[in-house]
Chain A
Amino acid sequence: MRERNLITLVIIIVIALFSALIVAPIQKPPFIESLVFWQDPRGRDLQIKQGLDLKGGLQVLLSADVKPGSSIVSGTLESARAIIENRVNGTGISEASVQLQGSDRILVELPGVTDRQLAIDLIKRTGQLEFVDGGPTPPATGTMISTTYGIDQRLLYPQTAAVGKPILTSTQTLTSAGKIYDTAFTGEILQNNSRADSQTGQIVVLFSIKPAAQQYFKEYTSKKIGQPLCIVLDSQVLSCPVIQAVLTEGGQISGNFTAAEARNLAITLNYGSLPIPLKIETVRDVGATLGADSVRRSIIAGVIGLSVLLLFMLLYYRLPGLLSGLSLLFFAVTTLAVYVLLPVTLTLPGIAGFLLSIATAVDANILIFERFKEELRGGRTLRGAVEAGFQRAWPSIRDSNLSTLITCVILFMFGNTFGASAVKGFAFTLILGILVSLFSAMVVTRTFMRLVFSQPSETIEKNKALLGV
C-alpha cells in the first residue's frame, strides 16, 4: 500500500515538474516543441496564448474597394463581414472579432497573432471562387493549383468580371507540377441560389448563372463539352465535374459526394466569395482591449486573492491545509500547462472558467477535510479517517462536478454553433479545470494525506492542533 502511494507520488512529481517546465517563461528545449506536433509550427512558441482582451493581437482594417462616389448596396458589407468572420473562426483562431466600422470598413482583430503575413494570408483566403478549365487530366480534388486568375487575374472571359477588380486575390504560387490552369470565370457569374438536390436519386448541386454572363457560359460549355470544369476555391480544387451538355442558364454539378458535402458546396458557391471587393487599409498591433494596466493590476490582485485563500486553508485546516495548498499548486501548474499544450487562447471569460475551477478544486478539498475531521471526532484512527473522509466526500464531489460538466458541454456546443466565442471559451477552460481538479483532489491530495498519515504517528496524534480538530 505504502509502496503504491510512493509510486503515485513519483508520478505526481514528474507531472508537476514537466508542467512547470512548460509553463515557465524560459526558452524551451527543442524536444518539447516537437512533442506538440498538432500545433501550427508558425505559432508553436509554447507560451500561454492570450486573447484580445488580455494581450491584444493584430488589427486589420479592410475597406470597400469601390470607385469613389459609387454607393455600396446596403447589406453587402454586413454579409462580407459575416463571411470573413466564418472564415477566421474556421481557421481555429479563437476569440477573433470582426466588426463593421463606419459605412465602408470592416475591422478584423486576430488575438495572439503576431505574424503579419499569416494574418494577411488568412483574410486573403476569404473565398475566391473560380471555374477552371481542367484540361485533359484534371487535378485531383483537394489539391492546390495555380491558375491564371490567381497569378495575374487573367480570365478566359474577362467580360464576366463585372464588379471592379478582383478581391484580395491569392498571390501564392502553390503549384506542385508547375502547371498553370486557365480560369474561365470567377464566382461572380453565379446567382446566390445554389442548392443541393437529390431528386433523381443522385446527389447534385444546382446552380444558376446571372443573365449577363449566360452567353459566355453557353459559349464555353458548348466548346468544352465532355471535358472537366474544375471548381476551385482559394486555389484549392473542390471538384472537377465533366461538362455533359451545353449550359446556358445554369446546371448541376454531379460528383461522388454525400448530402452534407453537397450542401457545403452549395453554401460555398453562394457565400464563398465576398460580395464586394475589399482592400487592406492598415495592419497594426492592438493592445489589450481591457487595457494593459488593468490587466496587470488584475493579475496582481488575483495572486493576492489566491495567497489569502491558501493562507486561510493553512490556518483553518493546519497540516491538511498545507497538503491541499500543495495540491492546489499542482492543479494550477498542470492546468496552465494543458492550456499551453492544446493550446487554449486565454481570455477573461476563460479566466472566469479557470477561477470557477479553482473554487471547485478548493471545494473538493474542503469537503474531504470536513469529512476527515468528522471521522476523527467520531473516534476513528488517523488512517481510517483519511480513507473514510475521501470515501464519504466522493459522491458529492462526483455529482456536483458532473452537473457542471454537463452544463459546460452544452454551453460549449452552443457557443461553437452560434459563434459565441466567449461562451465557448468559458466552457472549455472550465471543462479542463474540472477534470484536472478532480485529479488533484482525488489523487494528489489523497496520496499526500495517505503518505503523511499512514503510520500511527505519536506527534500528530498528540498535537490535535496540527489537524485543526
Chain B
Amino acid sequence: MYHIVRNRAIYFLISLAVILPGLGFMVYNTVTLSSHTPWHLSVDFRQGSIFDIKFNETVTEDAIRNVFEQFGLSNPSISKLGADSDNLWQVRTDFLQGDKTQALLDALNKQVGALDQKQSSVSSVSAKVASEVTRAAILAVIAATVAILLFIWYTFRKAPNAIRYSVCAIVAMIHDVLVAGGLTAIFSTLFKWEIDALFLTAMLTVIGFSVQDTIVVYDRIRENLVRHRGEPFEDVVSRSLIETLHRSLTISLTNIFVMTALLLFGGASIKQFVAVLLIGLVSGTYSSIFNAVPLVVAWEERDLLGLRALRSRAMPAK
C-alpha cells in the first residue's frame, strides 16, 4: 500500500511550489498596479469607454474584436444593438484617450467595414460591478466558510477531534483559492489577463467544489474509523484514501472533459473563466487527497511533515 499520508512532505511541497510563485505575483501586482489589486481588473470593475459604432455593411464580431485587441484593449465586451440589419454594435473597453479613439475608429473603418461616422459615438461609462458587490461577495464567502466549519464539525462529531476535519477542509479550500487566484495573477502579469465579473463566479464555484470534494473523502475515513477500530489512525486514513482514489480520479476526469471542451471549442469571451474553473476544480480534487487528509493526520501525530516518522523508520529502534 502506497502511503500518501506518510509522504505528505512531498505533496505539501508540490502545493507550495504552485502557490508561492502565484502569491508572489499577487503581491507584486498589488504593489505595482495602479488599482492595487492582485490582478489586472477588466472594465467591469473600472471606468471605461463605450463605443456605439454603426457600419454600412454586415461585419463579424471577431473582426471587431481583432481591431480592439490591436489597440491593446484585450477582452472587450462586444454586443449587437438593434436588429441584424442595423449593423449597430456596442463595445465596452478600458478607458481610451481621445486621440486614440479616432485612430481606432479609422482602423475599424479600414479593416472591418465602412463605418457610418455620424452615427458612431464614444463616451465614458462607470464600472459595471460596483465595489460594494465585490465586498458583499467576499463577506458572503467568509460567512459561508464559518458555516461550513461548524457543519463539518457537527457532521463528523462521532469521529475523535471533529474540529480538526473542519479546519483542514477550510485550509484545503484556501489552498484552492490561492492556486486559482495565484495562477490567474501569473497569467494576468504575463499575458495581460484581466479579471472580470465572471472571475468572481469562477472563484465561488471553486470554493463550493473544494469543500464538497473534501467531505466525500472524509466520509470514507469516518466510515473506516468504525469498521477498522483499533488500527493505527494513519493506516485507516491511508486505506480510506486508496479506496476513494478511483472516485476522485473519475470525477476529476469528468470535470476535465467538460472544461477542456469549453476551452477548445467555446467562445472567446468565456475562455478565461473556464481556465480558472479548470485549474480550481483540479486543485480541488488534489487538495482533498493531498492536503486536507494528510493535515488531519499531521495534527493527530503533531508532526506536520511526517519527518519524525521518516527518521524513526530510517533508524530502526535498537
Q: Which residues of A contact B (CB under 8 A)?
A: 56, 59, 81, 97, 99-102, 105, 107, 284-298, 300-302, 304-306, 308-309, 312-313, 316, 348-349, 352-353, 355-356, 358-360, 362-363, 366-367, 370, 374, 392, 395-396, 399-404, 406-408, 410-411, 413-415, 417-420, 422-423, 426-427, 430
Interface hits, B63-82 → A, CB 8 Å: 65, 77-82
The 4 A-B pairs with the shortest beta carbon distances in the complex, nearest first, are: A294-B267, A305-B261, A287-B80, A418-B136
Q: Does B57 contact A (CB under 8 A)?
A: no
Q: Contacts of A406 on B, CB cut-off 8 Å?
A: 144, 147-148, 151
Give the residue name and chain of the B residue nearest to A360 (CB). Answer: B212
Complex Cα–Cα for A349 and B201 (A):
6
With beta carbons under 8 angstroms apart, the residue of A306, A366, A419 that contacts B250 is A366
Q: Identify the B interface with A (CB < 8 A).
A: 50, 60-62, 65, 77-83, 88, 90, 92, 123-129, 132-133, 135-137, 139-141, 143-144, 147-148, 151-152, 155, 197-198, 200-202, 204-205, 207-209, 211-213, 215-216, 219-220, 222-223, 243, 246-247, 250-251, 253-255, 257-262, 264-270, 273, 277, 281
Which chain A positions have C-beta within 8 A of B83? Answer: 285
Q: Could you tell me the distance in whole angstroms from the C-beta of A221 to the nearest C-beta in chain B?
A: 40
CA distance A81 to B127 in the complex (A): 12
B317 to chain A, nearest CB (A): 37
Candidates B124, B201, B261; contact of A426 at CB < 8 Å: B201
Beyond A289-B77, A292-B61, A302-B262, whether A400 also contacts B201 by CB under 8 A is no
7 residue pairs A–B, Cβ–Cβ below 8 Å: A101-B50, A289-B77, A294-B269, A305-B259, A306-B258, A359-B255, A366-B251
CA A199 – CA B128 in complex, angstroms? 42
Structural contact, B201 and A348, CB atoms closer than 8 A: yes
Q: Is the CB of B215 within 8 A of A399?
A: yes
Question: Could you tell me the distance between the alpha carbons of A307 and B137 in the complex, rounded to whole angstroms?
Answer: 33
Nearest-Cβ distance from residue A52 to partner chain B, whole angstroms: 8
Determine which of B140, B143, B253 lies in contact with A312 in the assembled complex, contact meaning CB atoms within 8 Å: B253
Residue of A nearest to B268 (CB): A294
Given the known inter-chain contacts A399-B215, A420-B137, A430-B208, please indicate yes or no for A59 contacting B81, CB distance below 8 A: yes
Q: How far is the CB of B217 from the nearest CB of chain A, in Å? A: 9
Q: A289–B91 Cα gap in the complex (Å)? A: 9
- Whether A285 contacts B82 in the complex (CB less than 8 A), given A415-B136, A420-B133, comes out as yes
> A422 — which chain B residues lie within 8 A by C-beta?
129, 133, 197-198, 200-201
Q: A101-B125, A292-B61 are in contact. Are A352 and B212 (CB under 8 A)?
A: no
Q: Which residues of A contact B223 (CB under 8 A)?
A: 392, 395
Nearest-Cβ distance from residue B43 to partner chain A, whole angstroms: 11
Would A293 and B61 be within 8 Å (CB), given that A399-B219, A407-B147, A410-B144 are in contact?
yes
B265 touches A304 (CB 8 A): yes
**Closest beta carbon of chain A to B198's beta carbon, Å:** 6
- Cβ-defined contact, A297 with B209, below 8 A: no
Q: Tell me how far the C-beta of A78 lies from the nearest C-beta in chain B, rounded to whole angstroms.
A: 8
Interface centre among A285, A287, A401 (most CB of B within 10 A): A287
Using known A-B contacts A286-B81, A359-B254, determine if residue A295 contacts B140 with beta carbons closer than 8 Å. no
**Contact assessment for B209 and A356 in the assembled complex, using a CB-CB cutoff below 8 Å:** yes
The reply to whether B136 and A291 contact each other, CB–CB distance below 8 Å, is: no
Distance in Å: Cβ of A113 to nearest Cβ of chain B: 15
CA distance A186 to B208 in the complex (A): 49
Task: List the B side residues contacting A417 at CB < 8 Å.
Answer: 136
